Chains A and B, each alone.
Chain A
Amino acid sequence: MQLEGRALSWRYGNGPWLFQNYSITIQPGEVVGLIGPSGCGKTTLGRLLAGYSKPLTGEVKVPGRARNHTGYDPVQLIFQHPERAVNPRWRMAKTLTEGWSPDTELLESLGIKEEWLQRYPNELSGGELQRCCIARALGPNTQFLIADEMTTMLDAVTQAQIWHTVLHHASVRQIGLLVISHDHALVSRICTRTLTFG
């Protein structure tokens, strides 16, 4: 039941290869850190694993992913910029229930307030939006979560708060986590294993 990327390669257009024949596996319940210099393709790797783009070589194997990529995907990606990951014309209530209906317990543990639900994304701060994006991605069918600089834009208190909640849910439900980050202190604090990329 592992998430597996085998011999993945990617480059943009005719540019230099970002990575070639790169393989990665993530076991359920594991917290893996991914560290590397900017522009080396960490985000791109996350997108390949989550099924947003098709790798140029190799394949991504995910248990339970529909062949035509319809329905709720077991690999959920959380983006660095939450404001670009939500529909600006939807109220938060619609965005939150896009894939499943989060229960009040989860909303409370992420500090999401009732009054945010009737607002539009531009009426929430980045931290408030990111909390909503995380709730949206923690549906019952989520088996792997890719956190791409998930808390980079947030202050330390909010970062600690969000990670405690996410790590708790991940360990209870045995969700495998890939943590893409530049913050060595954060990665060494929460990850069971660290990969250096690029």
Chain B
Amino acid sequence: MPLLEVQQLSIAFQQYTKGSRQQMVTVMEELDLAINEGEIVAVVGASGSGKSLLAHAIMGILPANAYISGSIRYNGEQLDEAKLKSLRGSEIALVPQSVSYLNPLIRVGKQLQTNKDSIEQHSERKGLFERFRLGEHVARLFPFQLSGGMARKVLVSTAALSRTRLIIADEPTPGMHPDDVAEALKQFKQLAAEGCAVLLITHDIEAAIRIADKVAVCYAGSIIEIAPASDFSGAGNELRHPYSQALWRALPQNGFIPISGTQPSMGLGLQGCLFADRCNRAVDACKVSRQESRQIRSGIVRCMHAT
């Protein structure tokens, strides 16, 4: 049984259009994802494709105008508000995306502690600061005094404690020096080896495939492919979806080949495959109906052309 199981998760926002008129904008549609204990699942994909929303939905910290359908199960039980309250900050930890999630008026050292901490966690955290080469003075700084990379390290050290069973890391590495990225990834890997489940949300594919078991690729609010990390190699021919291939081939070390166009927003009520207008394999059938997920070569894909 997976530790975390997300089924048919859809998220919509209620927005004001003109005056007091409101509309529902769907931003995520029928997303399925499962993570086992000791497993690292990376979610990569386009910026603004809803990767962070997934993290926020699991943590139960979406804004009040968001409507969720589908189910999120943790340890076999439905994850509801009451359950989350007792698990957040102890068994489930979030590494947020930016320093703006910290209180600007409290020194960072103090913010990293919660009232669930014991002496053991104190010394653990001290060890983490040393491993990330954060000097002791850093704990006494305010969030605005941290540089971009230092802030990331501080955020990563909030979650990497041994009592944690599920870590949701939202873009933990951008702007960090390669050595520190390696250190942070090693940290996640070690936690996974100790039985912790890690959901790594990132657009750094390189980093993702270095430690993840499975990689889910997100585009315009839906997961279009879940592939074993080893499929991201060579020219990307092992990948199942044209967008995953485009993403892989656009990396500076793999050709730096762009594709034209921009990601559509799901709220427009588009018919058919959301990638169709940028895809060189699109046929008329792609533009008529949304593709269902199919199992192909120990992976999952939403594309009729995938083999």
- Chain A residues with a Cβ under 8 A of chain B: 36-39, 43, 80, 111, 113, 125-128, 149, 152-161, 163-164, 182-186, 188-190
Contact = CB atoms under 8 A, between A and B. Distances in A.
A154 B258 contact: no
20 contacts: A38-B147, A39-B147, A39-B150, A43-B147, A43-B148, A113-B262, A126-B47, A128-B262, A152-B175, A153-B171, A154-B47, A154-B203, A155-B47, A156-B247, A157-B258, A159-B252, A164-B256, A182-B149, A184-B178, A186-B252
Contacts of A190: 252
Contacts of A111: 260-262
Max chain B Cβ within 10 angstroms of own Cβ: one of A153, A158, A189, A190: A158
A189 B253 contact: yes
A150 B206 CA distance: 18
B40 to A, nearest CB: 20
A185 B252 contact: yes
Interface in B240-264: 246-248, 250-253, 256-262
B48 A126 contact: yes
B174 A152 contact: yes
Contact of B176 (A128, A155, A182, A189): A182
B275 to A, nearest CB: 11
A31 B206 CA distance: 24
Interface in B198-220: 203, 205-206
A127 B259 contact: no
Contact of A157 (B48, B148, B177, B259): B259
A153 B260 CA distance: 19
The 7 closest A-B pairs by CB, nearest first: A38-B149, A125-B48, A39-B147, A160-B258, A161-B258, A156-B250, A189-B252
Given A80-B148, A156-B247, A127 B253 contact: no
Nearest to A161: B258
A38 B134 CA distance: 11
Contacts of A37: 149, 177, 179-180
Given A80-B148, A185-B253, A189-B256, A156 B175 contact: no
Given A38-B148, A113-B262, A160 B177 contact: no
B38 interface: no
Contacts of A158: 46-47, 262
Max chain B Cβ within 10 angstroms of own Cβ: one of A113, A156, A158, A182: A156
B175 A182 contact: yes
A37 B134 CA distance: 12
Contacts of B146: 39
B247 A38 contact: no
Contact of B247 (A39, A157, A183): A157
A37 B178 CA distance: 8
Contact of B251 (A128, A152, A156, A161): A156
B148 A155 contact: no
Nearest to A157: B250
A1 to B, nearest CB: 29
Nearest to B145: A12
A186 B253 CA distance: 7
Given A38-B147, A153-B203, A156-B247, 6 more contacts: A149-B174, A155-B49, A158-B46, A161-B260, A182-B178, A186-B252
Contacts of A186: 252
A125 B176 contact: no
A164 B259 CA distance: 11
B239 to A, nearest CB: 13
A153 B179 CA distance: 19
B16 to A, nearest CB: 12
